[in-house]
């Protein structure tokens, strides 16, 4: 995640809450903002509690413990909470909290409670240094989860939450989804089908943008075969070019023929070749055996592809299959594709949500909100629901260093993001 330097952000965020254009806010909205302001330190303390529980994706006990921490708070706000167990997918599960209502838009609020830091990581504890906090998942994305909770708490304390139809989905395996995806994201998709708009609270990339589009992510597996023999006979009519030269042709043709289309990227992440190859795709590990005097007979390549739309992805897959089919002499190859995260395309509905969010920020005196370049975002759970409903993402606080021991959160941005979230939810559910 790229963003402004923390020092510069401190200057940016220092004065934003005081610039709210009170004349543009209703009495209820001013009360909501005051309640968020009063909860600043309490929200940070709650964030510290959540961060200090290890919830690496493959630590089911920790993920469930963080889920319980949030569930108890949603219970207090009148939500019906449930734990969706995913042991059959070798994952902990998800927290879903539902508050039924029929006023305004039905909202789906999305976060995740797992992190990339497993129990054996040296990065385990929340630490606060002035306006900065560090810790596993402090920005990605327990900070965003806290924004959801405290925005809803402010709405409840202001007496304006009744009648709103809201579902909160805190996913327990966002960082390394279990399989099959139809199982581990089935409840999220079902919630989307019963909602009108989705808001995701992953960290913001800078203080004044939001995400209306992001590329989908899927994978491909290339298997190449050649005819083994003495290396002195390579390129002959009898033995041909071998599996490695054929693989090189294919990958270079991908680069030459697919490179340049906006938002389309493809990457061969792992390659193994030789006389014998063993590859475990689940662990992304393998081994290869071969000799310099033997024509290689097998290659395995495991790669990924990112596209801005399903149409772009299908065009790329068709061309990749065509390239694979043009084999060098005495070689053959097959390519297969596995669906992953779908694309979040920049729909008119998403743009409409951005305009509403922009107005909220302007009314708070925070300035304009602009759409983030889709190339700046990776895949996320909101992509699973974007094909069904309007969606907006990147609504969480500002941090940096996600997925590394340098992960940090700019603490003043926590309250700013909560104010914006509370007003956006309020206006959408009126």
Q: Give the CATH number of the domain where residue 300 resides.
A: 3.30.70.360
Task: Look at residue 327 and tell me if it is in a domain.
Answer: yes
Task: Look at residue 200 and tell me if it is in a domain.
Answer: yes
Domain boundary among 304, 326, 341: 341
Question: Does residue 413 share a domain with residue 378?
Answer: yes
Kindly report the pTM of this predicted structure. Answer: 0.85
Task: Look at residue 44 and tell me if it is in a domain.
Answer: yes
pLDDT of 85 above 90: yes
pLDDT confidence of residue 16:
45
Count structural domains, the chain: 2
Question: Does residue 225 share a domain with residue 183?
Answer: no
Task: Look at residue 189 and tell me if it is in a domain.
Answer: yes
Question: Does residue 257 share a domain with residue 138?
Answer: no
pLDDT of 19 above 60: no
Question: Does residue 168 share a domain with residue 87?
Answer: yes
Over the chain, what is the mean pLDDT? Answer: 93
User: What does the pLDDT look like over 121-137, one tens digit per residue?
Assistant: 999 999 999 999 999 99
User: What does the pLDDT look like over 371-387, one tens digit per residue?
Assistant: 999 988 777 899 999 99
Could you tell me if residue 149 is left (phi over 0), alpha (psi between -120 and 50 degrees) or otherwise beta? alpha
Question: Does residue 225 share a domain with residue 164?
Answer: no
Question: Does residue 151 share a domain with residue 109?
Answer: yes
CA atoms within 13 A on the CB side of 238: 7
What percentage of the chain carries pLDDT values higher than 70? 95
pLDDT confidence of residue 23:
56
pLDDT of 183 above 70: yes
| For residues 187-211, average pLDDT | 94
Question: Does residue 424 share a domain with residue 334?
Answer: no
- Residues, the chain, total? 430
Domain boundary among 289, 310, 341: 341
Q: What is the CATH classification number for the domain harbouring 72?
A: 3.40.630.10
Question: Does residue 314 share a domain with residue 416?
Answer: no
Task: Look at residue 1 and tell me if it is in a domain.
Answer: no
Maximum CA extent, the chain: 85
Task: Look at residue 206 and tell me if it is in a domain.
Answer: yes
Domain boundary among 341, 357, 384: 341
User: What does the pLDDT look like over 263-279, one tens digit per residue?
Assistant: 999 999 999 999 999 99
Question: Does residue 235 share a domain with residue 174?
Answer: no
| For residues 410-416, average pLDDT | 97
pLDDT band, very low/low/confident/very high, at 4 (cuts 50, 70, 90): very low
Q: Residue 421 and residue 144: Cα distance in Å, rounded?
A: 10
Q: Residue 16 and residue 13: Cα distance in Å, rounded?
A: 5
pLDDT confidence of residue 175:
93
User: What does the pLDDT look like over 24-66, one tens digit per residue?
Assistant: 899 999 999 999 999 999 999 999 999 999 999 999 999 999 9
pLDDT of 89 above 60: yes
Task: Look at residue 393 and tell me if it is in a domain.
Answer: yes
pLDDT confidence of residue 15:
39
Question: Does residue 325 share a domain with residue 349?
Answer: no
Residue 266: give the domain boundaries.
Answer: 216-341
pLDDT of 148 above 90: yes
| For residues 109-126, average pLDDT | 97
pLDDT of 5 above 80: no
Cα→Cα distances 397→74, 338, 349, Å: 20, 33, 23
Question: Does residue 83 share a domain with residue 30?
Answer: yes
Question: Does residue 144 share a domain with residue 10?
Answer: yes
pLDDT confidence of residue 362:
97
């Amino acid at each position: 995640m790229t963003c402004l330097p923390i020092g510069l952000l401190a200057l940016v965020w220092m004065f934003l809450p005081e610039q709210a254009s009170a004349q543009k806010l209703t009495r209820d909205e001013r009360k909501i903002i005051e309640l968020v302001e009063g909860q600043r330190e309490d929200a940070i303390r709650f964030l510290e509690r959540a961060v200090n529980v290890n919830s690496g994706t493959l630590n089911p006990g920790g993920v469930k413990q963080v889920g319980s921490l949030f569930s108890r708070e949603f219970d207090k706000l009148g939500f019906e909470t449930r734990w969706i167990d995913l042991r059959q997918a070798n994952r902990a599960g998800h927290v879903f909290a539902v508050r039924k209502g029929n006023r305004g838009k039905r909202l789906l609020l999305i976060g995740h409670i797992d992190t990339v830091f497993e129990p054996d990581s040296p990065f385990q504890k929340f630490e606060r240094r002035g306006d900065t906090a560090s810790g596993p998942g402090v920005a990605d994305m327990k900070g965003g989860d806290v924004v959801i909770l405290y925005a809803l708490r402010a709405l409840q304390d202001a007496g304006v939450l009744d009648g709103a139809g809201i579902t909160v989905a805190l996913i327990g395996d966002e960082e390394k989804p279990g399989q099959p995806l139809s199982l581990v994201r089935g409840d999220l998709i079902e919630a989307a089908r019963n909602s009108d708009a989705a808001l995701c609270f992953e960290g913001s990339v800078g203080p004044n943008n939001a995400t209306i589009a992001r590329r989908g992510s899927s994978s491909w597996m290339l298997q190449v075969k050649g005819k083994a023999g003495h290396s002195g006979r390579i390129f002959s009519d009898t033995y041909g070019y071998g599996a490695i030269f054929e693989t090189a042709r294919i990958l270079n043709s991908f680069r030459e023929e697919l490179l340049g289309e906006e938002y389309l990227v493809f990457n061969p992440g792992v390659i193994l070749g030789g006389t014998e190859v063993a590859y475990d795709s689940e662990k992304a590990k393998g081994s290869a055996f071969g000799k310099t005097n033997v024509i290689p007979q097998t290659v395995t390549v495991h790669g990924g592809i990112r596209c801005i739309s399903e149409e772009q992805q299908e065009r790329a897959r068709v061309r990749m299959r065509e390239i694979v089919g043009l084999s060098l002499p005495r070689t053959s190859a097959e390519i297969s594709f596995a669906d992953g995260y779908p694309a979040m395309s920049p729909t008119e509905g998403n743009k409409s949500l951005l305009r509403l969010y922009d107005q909220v920020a302007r009314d708070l005196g925070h300035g304009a909100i602009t759409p983030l370049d889709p190339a700046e975002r990776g895949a996320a759970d909101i992509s699973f629901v974007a094909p069904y409903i309007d969606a907006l993402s990147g609504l969480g606080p500002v941090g940096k260093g996600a997925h590394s021991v340098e992960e940090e959160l700019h603490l003043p941005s926590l309250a700013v993001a909560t104010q914006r979230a509370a007003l956006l939810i309020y206006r959408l559910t009126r």
